[in-house]
Structure 1
């Protein structure tokens, strides 16, 4: 057993498919970090593909996808930014190879070597020189068997936690919708039909208003030119990933220079920020300080209880999505958003509703956070186990 250059153990397959085969796969179908495939037969991948065989390993060479790899269990075409590795049978087994390319000792130098400014990619001339530990074929099979068993248990634990998170999140959303529409109101039991599907009935003394009557609505910007982003914290600039859906303050992960900030206008403290473009359309967060925000986000501010407005959007997410247009890239413009109708109780009741929501979601949020931490730790354990096994740090008692 020894460390050898990766390129000595595999052949990079570059031959394009001469005819489109039935099974075609893109990077979107490969799950990051697990080696699993989430194939959707409804998705059609266009363009030329690299012809792969059963037993080849497909590796995403684009930096955001460098932790994506799949051991092919059928022949097909790899469409997009893939490397296709075909193991040299005398040196490398397919199953062992699939774990090697997901290990830190392989990924870390590959990630460090990527090139390109906008779409960084791994270069085969660098990848092939990466050192990998190559035991005998018998030991490789034992390692793969061991990792199959151990990762299956970890994956089952992750799946149960993710199922729990989904159930708790659904329960949380139901509580928010119940309370934001006055179902838990104290006092008058008389209710009337709001005339809005997502709201249902409301207490008779509540109102239903379109946003344009009460809220200021403004879309954000992404600054252009040189020296617009700050290396050190400057003016906070919020993106969709920064939005905290739990109701806590959303915290910026990037900052603008004064030059960058001059190209936009900040959202006031207390604003609700709503994603109105793309896959996260309808995602809402709130801010407790003035922030700048990108063009995927719309800021809303009103003179009533700011937290009530945020929770109203948390409950209305499905209704917000239905207002959008476009399938590939859904978009919601400000005119349509301004027509969204929301429940508006008296100001003092808004504070009571917000208090009840916080009280009843706190325990659920704690349970969700615990389950999420469990998933993170399990994934870290999975990655560490693979890295240890393919570098000979786990003694499996194989007689060589």
Structure 2
């Protein structure tokens, strides 16, 4: 990682608007001008400097703001979303996107997008935004942002380090995308082959002659969580050592990466129901059929169901299978009054494919290995972005 500079002697305090200008180029009829691509805020991913998605001008657009390769696109609406990208093609973009470029030779063009990624710049943009539902910053406010500008030689050193890290992050992004595609295809092949797309609850023997089917309640206990005392928010029920799973905790989890956001006290557990390690939690209200696996004894709210496999070694296969049924449970089974929900009468008789023990283990190991590879890539990408963040913090956010 690039070391923090020992001295900032020779660095110059400048306003953003002194070294960066807002491009006001417009094109009234993009299609007639030969422009093919249109970019909205939804096409820019937070923290990713590449524009990987766009719309087609031929599909119609009202956007007229012109951008060209090398210019920086900054989302001025909801700046807290941290949307910054460097264009590598010509196009038109939303009026909620500022098109930025260096105003003079004081600032290297390659450094501009990284400068726009600093916490200090985003804090300024958010702090100067106006509006409640859809806050926007304005150019006058952004132009007033002050920072220490390094000499060109130091800028070149920073650009070299940051560009290398950004290139690595791009490679990791592409690898992650391909790995996720492989996992989805594998997931569908290994688990989905047991389901008829038109109807999860029925099957024909001719479709899968070697596949056994069972009801969920045949291979696992299925019980709703409980935390029945009212009011629930009395402080004496919380703050203890007992993990308490809520809908949001399960929805935010990724496989075994589950952690409770609240913990019950000795008094609180008297009103709850606990589930052993290796329980599959499945949400049944508001968020439908999100799943996670516990690694410790855990209590859960009554909007979560605890599914405990009769054979603990089946937990991974069963979680993958339940994960596959989520669209069916969410869009075809869930009923809605004030919010979507499903009940035990639906879950317990749910029909699922149940191959031999040997096949279940093999399928679970294969999918777990593929998913582990994805987590490894994600961790490495996060480490790369952390390095970039530290370089920016050390050079632009630490007082001279």
Structure 1 residues 130 and 210, CA gap change in structure 2 (3 angstroms): same
Report the equivalent of 1:130: 145
Structure 2: tracts of 5 or more residues without a match:
1-10, 32-36, 195-201, 333-338
CA distance in 2, matches of 1:378, 1:241: 26
**How far, CA to CA, are the matches of 2:217 and 2:364 in structure 1?**
23
Distance 2:325 2:17 in 1: 53
Matches within 5 A, 1:1-400: 2-11=12-21, 21=30, 23-41=37-55, 51-54=65-68, 56-61=71-76, 62-66=78-82, 68-72=83-87, 73-78=89-94, 80=96, 82-85=97-100, 87-89=102-104, 91-92=106-107, 94-107=109-122, 110=125, 127-134=142-149, 142=156, 146=160, 150-151=164-165, 153-155=167-169, 157-159=171-173, 161-162=175-176, 165-166=179-180, 169=183, 173=187, 177=191, 195=203, 200-202=208-210, 207-209=213-215, 235-239=244-248, 241-245=251-255, 248=256, 250-252=258-260, 254-255=261-262, 272-274=280-282, 283-287=290-294, 288-292=297-301, 299=305, 301=307, 304-305=310-311, 308=314, 311-315=317-321, 317-321=323-327, 325=331, 334=342, 338=347, 340-343=350-353, 367-385=373-391
Q: TM-score, normalised by structure 1?
A: 0.60
How far residue 59 of structure 1 moved from its aligned partner, in angstroms, is 1.5
- Structure 1 stretches of 5 or more lacking a match? 182-193, 393-400
CA distance in 2, matches of 1:307, 1:43: 53
Partners of 1:332 and 1:276 lie apart in 2 by 8
* Residue pair 1:228, 1:257 contacting (<8 A) in 2 also: no
CA distance in 1 between counterparts of 2:238 and 2:159 reads 46
Q: Secondary structure, in 3 states, of the residue corresponding to 2:258?
A: coil
TM-score, normalising length: structure 2: 0.60
- What's the RMSD between the two structures over aligned residues? 5.8
Distance 2:361 2:380 in 1: 29
In the aligned structure 2, how far is the partner of 1:267 from the partner of 1:45? 54
What secondary structure does 2:281 align onto?
strand
Give the CA deviation at 1:154.
1.3
SS of 2:298 mapped into structure 1: coil
State the 1:342 CA deviation: 0.9
Which residue matches 2:199? none
Q: Is the 8 A contact 1:16 1:49 kept in 2?
A: no
- Check the 8 A contact 1:275/1:281 in 2, yes or no: yes
After superposition, what is the alpha-carbon deviation per residue over 1:291-345, rounded to whole angstroms, capped at 9, x for unaligned? Answer: 2387xxx63546845774663241354454256549xxxx986389647421458
Change (3 A) 1:309 1:371: closer
What number of residue pairs does the alignment pair up? 351
